[in-house]
Amino acid sequence: MSQSSTQKQIPLTERGHRVFDVVRKFAKGAQEIEATLTSTTGEFLRFGNNELGQSQFTKGRTLSVRLASEKKQARTTTGRLEESFIQKAVEKAVSQLKTAPEDPDYLPMLGRQKYHSLNRYHERTVQESAEAKAGHVAHAIELARKNNLLASGILGTSVDEVFMINTAGLEADYKGTGGYFSLTMDADNGNQTGYANSTFADISELNAGQVSETALERAKLNKAQSEITPGKFDVVIDPNAWSEMLFFFIVSASTGFSPDFGVRQYREGRSYLSGRMDEKILGENVTLVDDVYHPLQMGPAFDGEGYPKTKLTLGTSLKPDIGSQVRRRQSHRARATTAQSTRRGSNKPCHSRKRRNQDDRRTCRRTGQGTVAHATLVHSRGRAANKNPDRYDPGRDIPSGEW
């Protein structure tokens, strides 16, 4: 991330407060206002056919504005932070708010929250030179050449930041680093392939040599395939394959990757889990744990509404933790009752790694609506697995309301 380190940066929290002042100025008529500002800076080395092909530096910010009145809400986003563009985005949200249908499940925006501290920002990842990264790529290419294979992949690092603020007094911020080394070695026109991937927050944890050796080993084994008769077989699932399976387990690819664990999908009968409450859906030998504080985890300690995340052990049955829902709703109602009179008609804010297996690490990214209750198979506002980092994720830099 050496290119960005030479430029003076305005802290995202400082910029966020300035942007929020502009949002409030144009959000006329809205009883509740929320602004979420995200920033992503990345550097990527792409290589293919045993040649380094591209060095890419990216930087982008996205502003998401959510307005609410009574039980109506509207959201707009913009990638430009000039006042004129913010004004257009806010005015669009105001217009949408007037015609938006009421949401019977709408909860007032959260007030001030307490979060456990997280340190997921590593200066080494930011300062790592392009020469050092190219050295990791060169080792993979050299290993592939010695074995008559072609190496292709990406080595990328990033700094992700988010700042959230609303008129109920909430302020939440996060800054963390991340990266991944994705490598494919192939031969025979793609009929013999080996794949390995490693993700990290601190680039000093990256063992590029191990990634290269793993891809080579799998390429040597993955040849002379033959067809077999369909049936039941005992198989060994690679960590990356399991992660992909888990991702498709919680979303519907046929509906644009909408979450099957989403509350809306569940209630409207659009999830394969609809009507299956209390039904056992996993074997006794499968245990899923969603722990935002795990040393191999990435991302903030709060969801897309600023609600603090907690460790969640997921059972084998589709059974919600009713207590968590009730406690949160009661908390919302109590806060809304005491704050409604002061907030109505005013836009003023109230505020004056088991042993680390690098291939197992999966980043935590945003998703759609909240999931069924707080204890199905994924955390109530997060994705349990990540898509292949080489693929473009259109929701990565655009807050959709959830994390």
Residue 303 structural domain: 2-221+232-360
pLDDT given at position 135? 96
d(CA 114, CA 294) in angstroms, rounded, equals 19
User: CB–CB of 137/15 below 8 Å?
Assistant: no
User: Tens of pLDDT along 49-107?
Assistant: 999 999 999 999 999 999 999 999 999 999 999 999 999 999 999 999 999 999 888 89
**Between these two residues, 1 and 49, which has the higher pLDDT value?**
49
pLDDT given at position 364? 34
User: Tens of pLDDT along 244-276?
Assistant: 888 877 776 555 566 666 677 777 787 877 888
pLDDT given at position 344? 35
Q: Please indicate, yes or no, if residue 227 is contained in any of the structural domains.
A: no
- Of 263, 261, 234, 235, the C-alpha closest to 250 is 261
Span between the terminal Cα atoms of the chain, in Å: 25
**What angle (nearest 5°) sits at the alpha carbon of residue 162, between those of residues 157 and 167?**
175
From residue 44, alpha-carbon distances to 55, 133, 171, 180, 292 in Å are: 6, 9, 32, 10, 26
Mean pLDDT of the chain: 78
DSSP secondary structure code for residue 310 in this structure: -
d(CA 111, CA 169) in angstroms, rounded, equals 5
User: Tens of pLDDT along 136-192?
Assistant: 999 999 999 999 999 999 999 999 999 999 999 999 999 999 999 999 999 988 788
d(CA 356, CA 201) in angstroms, rounded, equals 13
pLDDT given at position 389? 36
Q: Please indicate, yes or no, if residue 367 is contained in any of the structural domains.
A: no
Q: Please indicate, yes or no, if residue 301 is contained in any of the structural domains.
A: yes
pTM recorded for the entire structure: 0.74
**What angle (nearest 5°) sits at the alpha carbon of residue 122, between those of residues 164 and 368?**
40
How many distinct structural domains can be found in the chain?
A: 1
Q: Please indicate, yes or no, if residue 374 is contained in any of the structural domains.
A: no
Share of the chain above pLDDT 70, in %: 73
d(CA 403, CA 399) in angstroms, rounded, equals 8
Distance of CA 236 to the CA centre of its chain: 28
The 10 Å CB-count burial string (b at 16+, else e) for 322-344 is eeeeeeeeeebeebbeebeeebe
> What is the band of 321 on the pLDDT scale with cuts at 50, 70, 90?
very low
From residue 57, alpha-carbon distances to 60, 123, 178, 319, 399 in Å are: 10, 17, 15, 45, 22
Instruction: Kindly give the pairing relationship between strand 32-48 and strand 150-166.
Output: antiparallel
> What is the band of 367 on the pLDDT scale with cuts at 50, 70, 90?
very low
Q: Please indicate, yes or no, if residue 114 is contained in any of the structural domains.
A: yes
Q: Please indicate, yes or no, if residue 313 is contained in any of the structural domains.
A: yes
For residue 162, the cross-strand partners are 38, 174
User: Which tokens in the block code for residue 77?
Assistant: 């986003």
Is a pLDDT exceeding 60 seen at residue 122? yes
Q: Please indicate, yes or no, if residue 397 is contained in any of the structural domains.
A: no
User: Which tokens in the block code for residue 68?
Assistant: 């609410």
Q: Check which CATH number belongs to the domain holding 204 and give it.
A: 3.30.2290.10
Q: Please indicate, yes or no, if residue 108 is contained in any of the structural domains.
A: yes
User: Tens of pLDDT along 346-356?
Assistant: 333 333 333 33
Sheet holding 72-78, edge to edge: 72-78, 51-69, 32-48, 150-166, 171-187, 192-200
d(CA 305, CA 281) in angstroms, rounded, equals 29
